[in-house]
């Protein structure tokens, strides 16, 4: 029997997140997702009069594909997938995995090679299609969140099907403020960082790109970041878990990077010239997401958080930085995580994870639930 929550989520993805219309083609990229939900999503696409194109993948198979990839192999994959992507109007990716560290033993140089060569597929999808990406709840995600499987599944569906239209209305003043902001300062334990976002713009994420959602992002001017930031949230990248990441910047570039695995951290930051510069700065405020689970689609939306991103910038808020890397690193600033402050042009706009100005208070957790 199909879970009654499946049709509700499928309808949200089709009618709200990607707003599919009659005759449009949608690529459904399903990774370790139950067939029952894939079928519900296909039916929702067809009910909108659109055409589903389905790709079914498995993380263990993908690991084997990466273990002995080569330039010619990655180029072939890029050409095939880019050709297909160019025929799509929308893209929905749902990614589940029983082991978040499945790629931990894939050689870092091969991961970097594959990411660099296939990057045009991701760039086209991000910039030229209507897209939405989300995880699928698995026991491994529940374990990472410190929850039972049933409790995590309940949280997942509550978060993923919340009232994103209400959240979008509350986001509008923050997007407007970030568009006109020049200087940003981030302060907290081990953190004193400043940069400019003048003229870069801002974009609110309201459930039309990621599910779950709840952030407004901009991007530092490429050479403007100076100072130090100490992240307090574990982060998973290329199959490796990192903790206590600390980055020191000078004129926009990461000049020192340390973590529990400093060697691997710096290998990733040395992927290409752009990996030591940044491509995104964002404030997160989803009221249902309180604690990290080492899954960035959730962690970057944690209430009272921010994230800063070494690597590729989005065209929507572009500082011209280009890289095969896009690595969102999260700092939670609620009191139980050490607190912290966000200043825009000399005004304190958020303290200890709570927005202070009247126009931004609707984004605080008690007002969004």
| Residue 29 Cα distances to 41, 336, 368, angstroms | 11, 38, 31
pLDDT in tens, the chain (369 residues): 678 999 999 999 999 999 999 999 999 999 999 999 999 999 999 999 999 999 999 999 999 999 999 999 999 999 999 999 999 999 999 999 888 889 989 998 999 999 999 999 999 999 999 999 999 999 988 988 889 999 999 989 988 988 888 999 999 999 999 999 999 999 999 999 999 999 999 999 998 888 999 999 999 999 999 999 999 999 999 888 999 999 999 999 999 999 999 999 999 999 999 999 999 999 999 999 999 988 888 999 999 999 999 999 999 999 999 999 999 999 999 999 999 999 999 999 999 999 999 999 999 999 988
The residues facing 132 across adjacent strands are: 92
Instruction: Name the token pair of 210.
Output: 């990621």
Are 337 and 303 in contact, with CB atoms under 8 Å apart? no
What is the value of pTM for the model shown? Answer: 0.81
Angle at 139 between CA 136 and CA 142, to 5 degrees: 85
Give the span between the Cα atoms of 112 and 117, in whole angstroms.
Answer: 9
- pLDDT at position 223 is 98
Report domain 5-160's class. alpha beta
Instruction: Name the token pair of 207.
Output: 């459930």
User: Torsion over CA of 292, 295, 301 and 306, rounded to 10 degrees?
Assistant: 70
Work out the angle between the directed axes of helices 71-85 and 108-128 (0-180°, nearest 10).
10
- pLDDT at position 208 is 85
Are 265 and 247 in contact, with CB atoms under 8 Å apart? no
| Residue 172 Cα distances to 164, 201, 206, 360, angstroms | 13, 13, 10, 9
Spell out the domain ranges in the chain: 5-160, 164-368
Give the span between the Cα atoms of 340 and 338, in whole angstroms.
Answer: 7
- pLDDT at position 144 is 83
Q: 222-242 as b/e, with b when 16 or more CB fall inside 10 Å?
A: bbbbebebbbbbbbbbbbbbb
Give the span between the Cα atoms of 313 and 304, in whole angstroms.
Answer: 23
- pLDDT at position 100 is 81
Are 215 and 284 in contact, with CB atoms under 8 Å apart? yes
Q: How does strand 90-95 pair with strand 25-31? A: parallel
């Amino acid at each position: 029997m199909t879970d009654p929550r499946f049709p509700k989520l499928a309808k949200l993805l089709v009618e709200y997140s990607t707003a599919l219309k009659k005759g449009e083609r949608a690529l459904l990229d399903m990774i370790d997702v139950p067939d029952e939900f894939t079928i519900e999503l296909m039916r929702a696409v067809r009910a909108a009069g659109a055409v589903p194109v389905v790709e079914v993948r498995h993380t263990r198979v993908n690991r084997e594909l990466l273990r002995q990839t080569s330039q010619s192999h990655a180029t072939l994959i890029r050409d095939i997938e880019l050709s297909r992507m160019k025929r799509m109007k929308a893209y929905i990716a749902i990614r589940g995995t029983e082991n978040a560290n499945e790629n931990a033993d894939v050689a870092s140089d091969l991961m970097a090679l594959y990411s660099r060569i296939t990057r045009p597929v991701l760039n086209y999808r991000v910039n030229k299609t209507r897209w939405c990406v989300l995880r699928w709840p698995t026991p491994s995600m529940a374990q990472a969140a410190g929850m039972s499987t049933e409790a995590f599944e309940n949280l997942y569906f509550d978060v993923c099907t919340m009232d994103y239209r209400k959240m979008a209305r509350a986001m509008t003043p923050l997007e407007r403020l970030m568009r006109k902001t020049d200087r940003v300062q981030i302060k907290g334990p081990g953190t004193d960082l400043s940069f400019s976002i003048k003229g870069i713009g801002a974009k609110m994420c309201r459930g039309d790109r990621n599910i779950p959602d709840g952030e407004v992002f901009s991007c530092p001017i490429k050479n403007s970041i100076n100072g130090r930031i100490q992240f307090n949230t574990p982060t998973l990248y290329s199959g490796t878990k990192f903790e206590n990441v600390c980055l020191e910047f000078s004129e926009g570039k990461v000049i020192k990077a340390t973590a529990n695995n400093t060697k691997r951290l710096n290998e990733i930051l040395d992927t290409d010239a752009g990996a030591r510069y940044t491509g995104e700065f964002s404030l997160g405020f989803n009221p249902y997401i309180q604690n990290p689970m080492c899954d960035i689609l959730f962690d970057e939306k944690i209430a009272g958080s921010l994230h800063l991103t070494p690597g590729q910038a989005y065209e929507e808020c572009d500082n011209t930085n280009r890289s095969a890397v896009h690595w969102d690193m999260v700092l939670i600033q609620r009191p139980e995580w050490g607190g912290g402050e966000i200043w825009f042009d000399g005004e304190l706009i958020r303290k200890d994870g709570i927005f202070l100005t009247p126009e931004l208070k609707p984004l605080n957790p008690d007002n969004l639930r």
